[in-house]
Amino acid sequence: MLIYLNGKLVPKEEAKVSVFDHGFLYGDGVFEGIRIYNGRIFKLKEHIERLYASAHAIDLKPPLTQEELLQATVETVRANNLRDGYIRIVISRGEGDLGLDPKKCPNPTVVIIADKIAIYPEEVYKKGMKIITVSTRRNSPQALNPNIKSLNYLNNILAKIEANRANVPEAIMLSIEGYVAEATGDNIFIVKNKTLITPPLHLGVLPGITRQTVIELAKERGIITEEKPFTLYDVYTADECFLTGTAAEIVPVVEVDGREINGGVPGEITLLLMKDFHEYVKKEGVEVYKD
C-alpha cells in the first residue's frame, strides 16, 4: 500500500508523522472519508470543499489548492490500483512544540490513505440493525460546531464505547436539549406517514454528504422530506428508521432501545432509497482510470 504524505507516495511502513504533530498531540486538524465505487471517487469535489471549509473554520491553511488535493487523491487511488474502497484525507496543524499555540506549527501535514473498507456485514443491510441510545450527549454547537469535521472525535468515541458495551454496532446520540442528533458515525432518518424526517444541522449534526444525497434522491421520488427536531418518542413510533454515512452508506434500523420498528424488518422507503443510492453511485464521481 502506498500512502500520500506531504507530496510523496511512500510505502505504508514509511508513512510516519512526528510525535510533535499537533494532530497527534491535540486533535488539531480536519479530515474527510470518501468512497470509491467502480473506479469513481464519489462526491470528491464536495468532500474536498467541506474539508477546506472545516480547515478555514479552524484557521488552518492547507499547503495545496483544492484542485491539487483532488489530483493527489486521484493519483493515490490509482497508485494503489483500487476500484472499490475508502479514502481518508487528513490535514493536521503539523509539527510544533508541546504548547497549544498553532502559530508554532508552520507546515501542515497532509495524508491521503486509500484502502478497502467494510463497516457492517451484508446481513445487516438485508435484515437491519438493532441500536440503542447512549448517555453521552452530542457536543454543543456553541462549544464545537459540528460542521467542523475535526480530528478530535472523542465525543463520538465515548458514545461508541457505550454501544460496544451494549453489544450493538451503532447508537443514537441526543443533543444537549434532548433531541435526536445523530449516531456515533452516521446521520439518522425516520419515516412517519410517508414523510422522510432528519434532524436539522443546528442541533449538532454533521452535514453528511450521504445525508444530502439521500435527501435529493427522496425528493426526486416525490417523497416529502423535512429537516426538523424530533425526540426518541418519534423514533420509537416511527414507521421506518435508517442511518446514512460515507462508509456505512444506508443502513436500515429495525430496533431502537428494544422497540421494534416496522415489525423488525427494513421499511419500503428505506429499501427504495437504498436501491436508488446504489444506482446513483455507479454513474456519479470523479473517474480514476480514464482511457
d(CA 174, CA 171): 10
What amino acid positions are annotated as catalytic residues?
A: 149
The answer, yes or no, to whether residue 119 has pLDDT greater than 90, is no
Dump pLDDT digits (tens) for 154-187: 999 999 999 999 999 999 999 999 999 999 999 9
Fold of 122-281: D-amino Acid Aminotransferase; Chain A, domain 2 (3.20.10)
CATH number for domain 2-115, candidates 1.10.10.10, 1.10.150.20, 3.40.50.1000, 3.30.470.10: 3.30.470.10
| 136 contact partners, CB below 8 Å, separation of at least 6 | 155, 158, 159, 162, 173
Q: Which of 45, 39, 114, 44 is nearest to 282 (CA)?
A: 39
Dump pLDDT digits (tens) for 198-254: 999 999 899 999 999 999 999 999 999 999 999 999 999 999 999 999 999 999 999
- Count of alpha carbons within 13 angstroms of residue 86, beta-carbon side: 12
- Would the pTM count as exceeding 0.85? yes
Residue spans in the chain of domains classed CATH 3.30.470.10:
2-115
As a whole number, the mean pLDDT across the chain is 95
Q: Angle at the Cα of 279 (from 205 to 183), degrees rounded to 5?
A: 20
The answer, yes or no, to whether residue 291 has pLDDT greater than 60, is no
Q: Are strands 224-227 and 195-198 parallel, antiparallel or unpaired?
A: parallel
> Which backbone phi and psi does 160 adopt, to 5 degrees?
-65, -35
Number of CB atoms found within 10 A of residue 50's CB: 20
d(CA 56, CA 61): 7
Residue spans in the chain of domains classed CATH 3.20.10.10:
122-281
d(CA 115, CA 153): 21
